[in-house]
Amino acid sequence: MMQENVRPIAPVGISGLEPQAPPTGMPIFELVKPTDLFVDPAYQRNISEKGSRQIRRIIEGFDWVKFKPPICAYADCDGQTILKVLDGQHTAIAAASNPHIDLIPVMIVEADSTIAQAKAFIGQNTDRLGVTTLQLHQAALAAADEDAQTLELVCSRAGVKVLKTTNAYTGTGVRQTIAIKQIEALISRRGPKLAREILEVLASAERGPLTAPQIKAVELLLTDAEYCEKIAVEDLTEAIVDLLFTAEDEAKIFAATHKVQFWKALAITWFRKCKKRRQLTKQAA
C-alpha cells in the first residue's frame, strides 16, 4: 500500500512555453578509475584552500548515499581520447584519494570541444553557490562568450587586468581587479567606450585593487550632471592620487554620519578634492 505522504512525479503545465528538444544525445554512465579523469584549466579552477577542506570532508565521510557522479565528456588530447571532468572535480579527487575506492560512476555528456565543455560547465554551475563570478567569467571566455570577451577588451584597453582568482593579486594589486559583476553592469549601462574611460581614471591613478565602490564612484562623477559638468577627468585622477587611501577612511565617516552608501560618499570625497571648472574659469578671467 502506497504511503500517504508519497507523491508521484507529474508534469507541470507548459502553456506559453516552447519546450526544447535536447540538442545532444542522452548522457551515459560508466564506471571509471578517478585517476583516469582530467581537468581542463581553460574553464576549471585550481583547488583553493576551501576546496581542499571540502575534499578532506568528502574523504572522511565518503558514502555512496551522498555520492553525486561527476559530469564528464570525452575529448581528444594529443591524439588520445580522455575523459574531462566538467563538474565534480572535488568529488573525483576525494575518490582518487580514498584507498577504499577503486571505481566511481560518472555521467558522460556530448561536448567534444573546449568551447562546448566550457558552456556545459557554465550551465552546471550558473546557479550554484560556491562557484565564483571569476570562475564563471573564465569559463565564459573559454566558451567564446561575446560579453565576456567585451569585458576583457574594455579592461585591457583601460590598462586593467582581470584576475582569474581572488588570491592572484601581485604586489599592491595596482590596475588589477576582481570586480566582474560591477564591470559587467557598467558596460551594460554605459557601453564599452564610456566604461573604458571610467576604468582608465582609476588605472591612471594607479589604484589597486580596483573595487566595485571605486568604479561606481567614478561612474557617478563622470556621468551625473551635478558633478561631471564641474570637473575635468585629469583633475579627478589627480584628486584620487592626492587622497590615496585617506579618501576611503574619510568616505566611511561621511557615509556613517550622512547615512549614504559608501560608494556615493567616496565619490563626494573625491569631488571635494577636485579643482572645479568654475574656479579655473574665474582664475583665467
Yes or no: say if 47 and 147 are a contact pair by the CB < 8 Å rule: no
Residue 199 is predicted with a pLDDT of: 96
Residue 143 is predicted with a pLDDT of: 75
For residues 56 and 90, give the distance between their C-alpha atoms in angstroms, rounded to a whole number.
Answer: 9
Residue 3 is predicted with a pLDDT of: 61
* Long-range CB pairs of 134-143, under 8 A, 24+ apart, other chains included: 134/163, 134/164, 134/165, 134/166, 134/178, 134/180, 135/45, 137/162, 137/180, 138/42, 138/43, 138/45, 138/164, 139/43, 142/42, 142/43, 142/114, 142/115, 142/118, 143/43, 143/115, 143/118, 143/119
Angle at 149 between CA 145 and CA 154, to 5 degrees: 150
* CB-facing half-sphere around the CA of 33: CA atoms within 13 A: 4
> Cβ neighbours of residue 252 under 8 Å, at least 6 residues apart?
262, 265
SS3 state at 34: helix
Residue 114 is predicted with a pLDDT of: 63
Burial (0-12, 13-18, 19+ Cβ within 10 Å), 102:
exposed
For residues 155 and 183, give the distance between their C-alpha atoms in angstroms, rounded to a whole number.
Answer: 9
SS3 state at 100: coil
Residue 205 is predicted with a pLDDT of: 92
For residues 97 and 83, give the distance between their C-alpha atoms in angstroms, rounded to a whole number.
Answer: 18
First to last CA, the chain: 96
For residues 140 and 150, give the distance between their C-alpha atoms in angstroms, rounded to a whole number.
Answer: 11
Burial (0-12, 13-18, 19+ Cβ within 10 Å), 2:
exposed
Yes or no: say if 249 and 238 are a contact pair by the CB < 8 Å rule: no
Residue 133 is predicted with a pLDDT of: 77
Residue 215 is predicted with a pLDDT of: 95
Residue 126 is predicted with a pLDDT of: 56
Q: Partners of 108 in the beta sheet?
A: 28, 72
Predicted TM-score of the model (pTM): 0.56
Question: Which of 171, 173, 154 minimizes the C-alpha distance to 211?
Answer: 173
How many Cβ atoms are within 10 Å of 174's Cβ, its own excluded?
A: 18
Largest CA distance in the chain: 96
Report the amino acid identity of residue 270.
Answer: W
Angle at 18 between CA 12 and CA 23, to 5 degrees: 105
Q: Dig out the grid coordinates for 147 from the structure.
A: 560579453
For residues 188 and 236, give the distance between their C-alpha atoms in angstroms, rounded to a whole number.
Answer: 23
Q: What is the pLDDT along the chain (285 residues), one digit of tens a residue?
A: 556 678 888 999 999 999 989 888 888 899 999 999 998 887 676 787 888 999 999 999 999 998 999 989 888 888 888 998 988 899 999 999 999 999 999 988 887 666 665 666 666 655 454 457 777 788 788 778 888 899 999 999 999 999 877 776 777 788 999 899 999 999 999 999 999 999 999 999 988 789 999 999 999 999 999 999 889 999 999 999 998 889 999 999 999 999 999 999 999 999 998 887 654 444 444
Residue 282 is predicted with a pLDDT of: 45
